[in-house]
Amino acid sequence: MRSRRAELAATALLALTALLAAGCGDRGDRSLTPSPTAATAKAQARAAEAHPGLPGMPPLISGNDVYAADRPNNLSPVVRNMPSLVYVPNSESNTVSVIDPKTYKVLRTIPVGVQPQHVVPSWDLRTLWVNNDLGNSLTPIDPATGKVGKPVAVHDPYNLYFTPDGRYAVVMASLDRQLVFRDAHTMAVVKAVPVSCYGVNHADFSPDGRYFIVSCEFSGELLKVDTAAMKVVAQQKIPYAGAMPQDVKISPDGRTWYIADMVANGVWTMNGDTFSTPKLVPTGAGAHGLYVSRDSRTLYISNRGEGSVSLLDFATGKLTAKWRIDGGGSPDMGGVSADGKVLWLTGRYNAEVYALDTATGRTLAKIPVGSGPHGLAVYPQPGRYSLGHTGVFR
């Protein structure tokens, strides 16, 4: 008799076959997940057996690295011909600045809704959603053509994520104190989940996609959410007076979770499976954004309060370097270039965007944009599908 893991692995492979046949996107595009080679299929089978995934989720490429699909310039056929640009939501100007990453020039400024917070790639990679938080809308941008679509009414969209199976968008309704599961394409409400904490804002998903962990900024708490059940299954207070958790990111091997904390001035580490008590790794004042290098070796941590970026080695859990932005700044949210050579971050309180050399930490450019730049998206990026935020790809 086959083991339960073997059965789940077989189910995952059948799901992959169905996805390849029908296309992963809602438009039936067969190119979203390229046909695997025999060696890749075997590797996916091993990964699927090690981490039986959420039904319908594309199998992991590697059981040891959830970011294995994000290697330099490993672009999906869906985005391969899209122009390489940086999209910057200016929360206080109600605009999105579009930057040419080669010239460091602003190419255009797009008017959007009130208080845009993040630019979020959709699960199928075809749309960039601008989260107009106080405008209660999402503005769609076609990254292939630059065309701006009609805003979609969505209440309190502070941030936006997508379940790994591509079925649902999860709106972080911070002021409403809800996690709102919506249809990933129409944005129709499927289920609104009330939460007892304050300021839900960032999240990441487990390797198998069966749960995700959410930070609650204003009450210093963490939530564990069952993806399929759409239900909060655990909750805890961070053990630090006045804690203010921000970005959430999982380690490549899926064993350690990192949560940036602006007040504790560092990143918390924890075991997501057991939802253990977090332990603090001090990094710098106002720790805020978390980004993974293209080789899955380094975590970039933006320290907004001191104008620096800390580097943490995933293998050892130790800090290895700290980069200072020339002339200071307020590094916030961003992403890594497709080739892995540049880290892009917004300067939240300086109305500028920073480009940093990932080999040396040197400040390559400080680009003036609108007021209050926040969750910028570098696009396109490597990966098969998006889990949302400013670009969490797998």
pLDDT digits (tens, 9 = 90+) for 247-267: 999 999 999 999 999 999 999
Cβ proximity of 172 and 203 under 8 Å: yes
Co-location of 49 and 97 in the same domain: no
- In this structure, how many other beta carbons lie within 10 angstroms of the beta carbon of residue 1? 5
Task: Give, for 148, the enclosing helix (H) or strand (E).
Answer: none
Q: What is the pLDDT of residue 314?
A: 98
Co-location of 243 and 352 in the same domain: yes
Mean pLDDT for 140-167 is 98
Mean pLDDT for 340-352 is 98
Mean pLDDT for 290-296 is 98
d(CA 268, CA 282): 9
Residues ≥6 apart with Cβ < 8 Å to 128? 87, 119, 120, 121, 122, 140, 141, 142, 143, 377, 379
User: Does some domain include residue 292?
Assistant: yes
pLDDT of 131 over the 80 cut? yes
d(CA 393, CA 87): 17
Q: What is the pLDDT of residue 284?
A: 98
Residue-wise pLDDT for 215-233, tens only, equals 999 999 999 999 999 999 9
The residue behind tokens 């600045």 is 97
Co-location of 26 and 98 in the same domain: no
Q: What is the pLDDT of residue 53?
A: 86
Co-location of 36 and 122 in the same domain: no
User: Does some domain include residue 42?
Assistant: yes
Co-location of 102 and 40 in the same domain: no
pLDDT of 122 over the 80 cut? yes
Of 246, 238, 250, which is closest to residue 277 (Cα–Cα)?
238
User: Does some domain include residue 79?
Assistant: no
d(CA 99, CA 160): 22
What is the domain extent for residue 36? 4-63
User: Does some domain include residue 353?
Assistant: yes
Q: What is the pLDDT of residue 27?
A: 32
Q: What is the pLDDT of residue 41?
A: 57
pLDDT of 10 over the 60 cut? no
pLDDT of 11 over the 80 cut? no
Q: What is the pLDDT of residue 15?
A: 40
The residue behind tokens 């122009």 is 83
pLDDT of 34 over the 80 cut? no
Mean pLDDT for 376-384 is 98
Which sign does the torsion angle of CA 260, 261, 265, 270 carry? Answer: negative
Q: Angle between the 38-50 and 4-22 helix axes, to the nearest 10 degrees?
A: 130
Cβ proximity of 319 and 310 under 8 Å: yes
Co-location of 258 and 326 in the same domain: yes
For residue 342 the two structure tokens come to 């540049």
pLDDT of 340 over the 50 cut? yes
pTM: 0.88
Query: Domains in the chain: how many in total?
Result: 2
Of 337, 336, 358, 354, which is closest to residue 345 (Cα–Cα)?
354
d(CA 179, CA 86): 28
pLDDT of 49 over the 80 cut? no
Using CB atoms within 10 Å of the CB of residue 2, give its burial: 0 to 12 exposed, 13 to 18 middle, 19+ buried. exposed
The β-bridge relationship of strands 363-368 and 266-270 is: unpaired
pLDDT of 138 over the 80 cut? yes
Main-chain phi, psi angles of 219, to 5 degrees: -120, 5
The residue behind tokens 């899926």 is 254
Co-location of 163 and 232 in the same domain: yes
Mean pLDDT for 386-391 is 98
Q: What is the pLDDT of residue 2?
A: 33
Task: Give, for 153, the enclosing helix (H) or strand (E).
Answer: strand 152-153
pLDDT of 244 over the 70 cut? yes
Q: What is the pLDDT of residue 36?
A: 53
Residues ≥6 apart with Cβ < 8 Å to 42? none
Co-location of 237 and 313 in the same domain: yes
Q: What is the pLDDT of residue 228?
A: 97
Co-location of 186 and 329 in the same domain: yes
The percent of residues above 70 in pLDDT, for the chain, comes to: 87
CATH number at residue 296: 2.130.10.10
d(CA 174, CA 20): 36
Cβ proximity of 72 and 338 under 8 Å: yes
Residue-wise pLDDT for 306-329, tens only, equals 999 999 999 999 999 999 999 999
pLDDT of 68 over the 80 cut? yes
Q: What is the Cα gyration radius of the chain? A: 19
pLDDT of 77 over the 70 cut? yes
Co-location of 181 and 34 in the same domain: no
pLDDT of 48 over the 60 cut? no
Q: What is the pLDDT of residue 38?
A: 62
Co-location of 271 and 165 in the same domain: yes
For residue 103 the two structure tokens come to 């010239």
Spatial strand order in the sheet of 318-324:
287-292, 298-303, 308-313, 318-324
**Three-state DSSP class for 17?**
helix
Average pLDDT across the chain, whole number: 91
